[in-house]
């Protein structure tokens, strides 16, 4: 993403005064009424108590999250915001002129105009009453910033303790809605496409501002919750995008383990769809139709048998011909975990995560609906589902990928045979062993698909810009005569797709070899496209993160006729 002038100056200052810009990330979370604070070093090590809850941090754009939960909890009208073009610097985070943006997307994309208290007609008294109920006392002292929506300004300094306590006070209903919206952050530009490191664990609102003692330097990060509702905050030098991109693997390693979240959804499974049952026994005695609790043996008409264990999630009934029939009722993640155990395994976590997303997507695309539940058969023609409780490892994989699905293709998978939009489990295992993350495995198998959430399509749908792609194809061979002299440059395996950016700042999606820009009309547009191409070409070298260098090189490539220098 192209850096702002302030960010470029900040990086320049850090390069010349590294002691003033230590490469660290501060992280804090709130569990059981106590704050845990850690400082992560660039080598991945961390230390505790480098700061405490009294630390003052900028509110930045986190104010939008508090407006969101208040509006959701109080069921306030939240009409879509329509972009007029009159505030281009702010609408860049919302939509194009004439377009509109809805509440959840506005939160994920950080559209401040949507959440403006005046636009949503937030009155001081109802707002104060709401937070008094949540906190258990009237907002005052450290929580005084919550007393009036007019006080929710980006420059407002708040104690880290009060910020995390406010997040902890949000009731489950409002928090779950916010978490669903915020899951989109790690899928898109605001979260630097870091889903490969966090999966569904991190549900945070990003912010980019500066600390009071360093007004010329950018300070970015995010705050929100882990999947289980644990409030979390982190911040460091740079914008939220650059902070997430740089620190994602180390941050993911430091965050506390999340307790299993509530398994939402409902899946009805018709077991043994292709294998007629003869009898279901418990201790050698025919089982009575109804809920199954305990150990049973299922005998099939073909003479085979199968042992299973149920804790009330399975039931025995009769079909239209009076034959025994076993059915199951599960949450979506339990269903996904049981299919992992039956169709693959959790031994290679990255391959299992890719399989989990494929399983959840297949369910969404092929199940029917009955009594508010998705219904699907246990069959080799659909997905085979273990009749026994899922293993702990498979459950962990399903939880880690909670709500993640693919959109844009009809998803299939097979044990050994790959094909168009078909993942071979054996190939996924091999890719995982080679060190590829689950999102990279999915991108290779389903190149036309978008990774998104059950609650909405992912933030990164690609509407191809044919003119921009043609321009890039013409220019790259000319550029490379100079780029071959640049340390760290590698020719991308193929030219990247150039996609229309609906909102936000231009960026390159390295895991999928794609560039998102707003168009190709002006000289600045061409420099932007060259800039993002360079991020791809320098992706494996530290220079690729030097925004000042990349910007200078992009301008030289676009503005100078390199042929004249041969």
The three-state DSSP-derived secondary structure of 437-482 is CHHHHHHHHCCCCEEEECCECCCCCCCECHHHHHHHHHHHHHHHHH
Q: What is the pLDDT of residues 437-475, one digit of tens each?
A: 999 999 999 988 889 888 664 444 677 898 999 999 999
Answer CATH for 466-565 from 2.60.40, 3.30.420, 1.20.120, 1.10.10: 1.10.10
How much is the pLDDT for 510?
Answer: 64
49 pLDDT above the threshold of 80: no
pLDDT above 60: residue 3: no
Is residue 217 predicted with pLDDT exceeding 90?
no
- Residue 332, pLDDT above cutoff 60: yes
Residue 136 scores a pLDDT above 50: yes
What's the confidence (pLDDT) of residue 368?
87
Position with higher pLDDT, 445 vs 212:
445
Predicted pLDDT at 496: 87
* Residue pLDDT, tens place only, 140-155: 999 999 999 998 999 9
- What integer pLDDT is reported at residue 13 of this predicted model? 40
Q: For residue range 377-424, what is the model confidence (pLDDT) as tens digits? A: 999 888 999 999 999 999 999 999 999 999 888 999 999 999 888 999
Q: What is the pLDDT of residues 497-515, one digit of tens each?
A: 898 876 566 877 665 677 8
Q: Containing H/E element for 532?
A: helix 523-537
Is the confidence at residue 367, as pLDDT, over 70?
yes
In 3D, which of 561, 565, 566, 564 has the Cα closest to residue 475?
Answer: 561
The closest of 90, 34, 30 to 226, measured between CA atoms, is 30
State yes or no: pLDDT of 7 exceeds 90. Answer: no
Q: In 283-377, which residue ranges form alpha helices assigned H by DSSP?
A: 332-343, 349-366
User: What is d(CA 401, CA 393) in angstroms, rounded to the nearest whole number?
Assistant: 13
Strand partners, 234: 27, 222
Give the residue extent of every domain in the chain. 5-55+156-254, 271-330, 334-458, 466-565
For the chain, count helices (H), then strands (E): 18, 25
> What is the reported pLDDT for 192?
62
Strand 368-370, strand 277-282: pairing? unpaired
What global pTM score does this model have? 0.77
């Amino acid at each position: 993403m192209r850096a702002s002038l302030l960010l470029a100056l900040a990086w320049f200052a850090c390069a010349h005064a590294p002691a003033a810009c230590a490469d660290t990330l501060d992280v804090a979370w709130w569990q059981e009424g106590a704050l845990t604070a850690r400082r992560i070093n660039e080598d991945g090590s961390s230390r505790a108590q480098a700061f405490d809850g009294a630390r003052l941090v900028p509110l930045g754009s986190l104010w939008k999250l508090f407006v969101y939960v208040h509006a959701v909890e109080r069921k306030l009208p939240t009409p879509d915001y329509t972009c007029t073009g009159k505030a281009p610097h702010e609408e860049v985070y919302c939509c194009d002129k004439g377009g509109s943006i809805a509440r959840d997307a506005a939160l994920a994309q950080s559209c401040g105009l949507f959440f403006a208290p005046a636009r949503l007609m937030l009155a001081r008294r109802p707002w104060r009453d709401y937070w008094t109920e949540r906190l258990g006392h009237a907002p005052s002292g450290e929580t005084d910033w919550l007393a009036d929506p007019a006080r929710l300004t980006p420059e407002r300094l708040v104690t880290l303790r009060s910020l995390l306590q406010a997040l902890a006070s949000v009731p489950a209903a409002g928090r779950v809605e916010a978490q669903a919206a915020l899951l989109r952050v790690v899928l898109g530009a605001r979260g630097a496409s870091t889903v490969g490191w966090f999966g569904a664990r991190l549900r945070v609102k990003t912010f980019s501002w500066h600390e009071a003692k360093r007004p010329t330097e950018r300070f970015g990060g995010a705050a929100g919750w882990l999947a289980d509702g644990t409030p979390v905050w982190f911040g460091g030098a740079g914008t939220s995008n650059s902070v997430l991109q740089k620190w994602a693997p180390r941050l993911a390693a430091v965050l506390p383990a999340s307790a299993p979240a509530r398994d939402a959804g409902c899946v009805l499974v018709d077991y043994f769809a292709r294998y007629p049952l003869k009898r279901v026994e418990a201790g050698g005695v025919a089982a009575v139709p109804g809920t199954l609790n305990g150990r049973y043996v299922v005998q099939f008409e073909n003479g085979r048998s199968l042992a299973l264990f149920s804790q009330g999630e399975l039931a025995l009934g009769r079909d239209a011909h009076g034959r025994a029939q076993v059915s199951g009722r599960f949450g979506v993640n339990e269903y996904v975990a049981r299919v992992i155990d039956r169709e693959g395994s959790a031994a290679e976590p990255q391959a299992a995560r890719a399989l989990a997303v494929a399983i959840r997507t297949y369910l969404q695309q092929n199940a029917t609906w009955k009594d508010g539940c998705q219904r699907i058969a246990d069959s080799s023609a659909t997905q085979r589902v273990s009749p026994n409780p899922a293993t702990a490892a498979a459950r962990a994989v399903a939880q880690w990928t909670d709500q993640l699905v693919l959109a844009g293709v009809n998803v299939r998978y097979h044990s050994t045979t790959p094909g168009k939009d078909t993942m071979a489990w054996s190939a996924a295992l091999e890719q995982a062993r080679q060190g590829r993350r689950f999102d990279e495995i999915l991108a290779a198998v389903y190149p036309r698909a978008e990774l998104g959430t059950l609650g909405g399509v992912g933030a990164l749908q690609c509407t191809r810009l044919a003119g921009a792609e043609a321009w890039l194809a013409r220019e790259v061979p000319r550029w490379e005569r100079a780029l071959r002299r640049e340390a760290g440059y590698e020719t991308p395996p193929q030219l990247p797709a150039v996609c229309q950016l609906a909102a936000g700042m231009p960026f390159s999606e390295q895991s999928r070899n794609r560039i998102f820009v707003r168009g190709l009309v002006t000289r600045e547009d061409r420099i932007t496209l060259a800039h993002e191409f360079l991020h791809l070409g320098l992706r494996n070298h530290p220079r690729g993160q030097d925004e000042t260098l990349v910007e200078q090189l992009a301008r030289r490539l676009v503005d100078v006729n390199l042929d004249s220098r041969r």
